[in-house]
Amino acid sequence: MIFKQKEMKNYKKISLALLVFTAGFTACTKQDGIYTENGSSGIIELADLPSRTSSTAYAVATKSFDAAASIDFPVTINYTGVDGAAEDVNLVLGFDDTAVAAMSSSYTVLPTTLYTVPSYNVTIPKGSKTATFHLTLNTAAFDFTKTYALGIKIKSASSGTISSNYGTGVFLIVAKNKYDGVYTVTSSSAMVDNTSSTLTGYYPMTQELRTTGATSVVEYDGYLYANNYYHPIKSGTSTSAYGNFAPIFTMDADGNVTSVTNYYGQGTNSSVRAARLNPAGVNKFTVSGNTKVLEVSYIMTQSGADRTFFYEKWTYTKAR
């Protein structure tokens, strides 16, 4: 009798463990691929979202687009399972501004003046596993100082189950011009700081050029000194940077650099620093096949006086 009681207790423990394992398995954060009932489970989700942890309210995906007056933004909806849908699945999509607010106060909900939606209704055809929800963006009219986002939501489905984890997601929408990217920066002539001989150039280095307008980009570090808009330099043997200074390069239609200004304001920051083009140097953005090169000469001024002279060559390596 005692043996049977122990045996029963062990059986209950094993059953409980199997129950916990099964529950944990079906609650996996990324649901695609865990259903094997030939599609009958029918979980419907936004396919472009990355996996998220249980502590994150919504998954966040970043989508980058060229700056243009009209550009397509496709959002894929996925029907999980081995096979496709057993019947046409009619979906209604919509937007959820509260999802954007829940993820970051720094995000700005994309204004309705900057996009159109041909239709909020999409269909996953019988036998298929995907459908596409389309938006048309006017990225050329973006305010490049803002981080735009849309909370996209599967509002209803004629059959199947809308995913609790990936039925709603936040999409960051980034507009990029043709100059935007990751670059290797070298110097065609030594950097000169008129106030300190111990401050020298940090070359070669990897830096980003980030879109600020249709034909302008700003230097962003994130590799050497800090994740911010800075221009790294060396102070003796140490890595440093000029505070309140990051150059914005503006080009014309022919690729000529027409101006260099300071991201932190033209002398209006606490360091009283500004930037200007040095017309004596080469100032040209050249595209030859897949090669993009920016050659630029510019000066950082402080309190109205020329302080630091830069002679740089930026060679494109990849998209950011």
Domain layout of the chain by residue ranges: 43-176, 181-318
| Fold exhibited by the domain 43-176 | Immunoglobulin-like (2.60.40)
Q: What pLDDT score does 23 carry? A: 41
Q: Identify whether the C-beta of residue 96 lies closer than 8 Å to the C-beta of residue 90.
A: no
- Mean of the per-residue pLDDT values of the chain: 88
**Token pair recorded at residue 14:** 């094993």
pLDDT by residue (tens digit) across 196-219? 999 999 999 999 999 988 899 999
If we measure between CA atoms, which residue out of 49, 31, 145, 160 comes closest to residue 99?
49
Residues 21-47: pLDDT tens digits?
444 433 443 444 333 333 446 899 999
Is the backbone of residue 183 left (phi > 0), alpha (psi -120 to 50) or beta? Answer: beta
How confident is residue 173, by pLDDT bands cut at 50, 70 and 90? very high
Cα(166)–Cα(99) distance, rounded to whole angstroms? 12
| pLDDT at position 22 | 43
**Side-chain-side CA neighbours of residue 135 (13 Å):** 23
pLDDT in tens, 259-317: 999 999 999 999 999 999 999 999 999 988 889 999 999 999 999 999 999 999 999 99
Neighbours of 186 (CB within 10 A): 14
Q: What pLDDT, on a 0 to 100 scale, did the predictor assign at position 41? A: 66
| pLDDT, position 36 | 35
Q: What is the pLDDT of residue 154?
A: 99
SS3 122: strand
Q: What is the pLDDT of residue 17?
A: 45
Q: Are 96 and 168 in contact (CB under 8 A)?
A: yes
CATH class of 181-318: mainly beta
In angstroms, the Cα distances linking 135 to 72, 73, 127, 129, 228 are 6, 5, 25, 20, 31
The overall pTM is greater than 0.75: no
CA torsion 313-205-187-307 (nearest 10°) is 110
pLDDT band at 83 (very low <50, low <70, confident <90, very high): confident
**pLDDT score for 60:** 96
Distance of CA 213 to the CA centre of its chain: 17
pLDDT at 63: 94
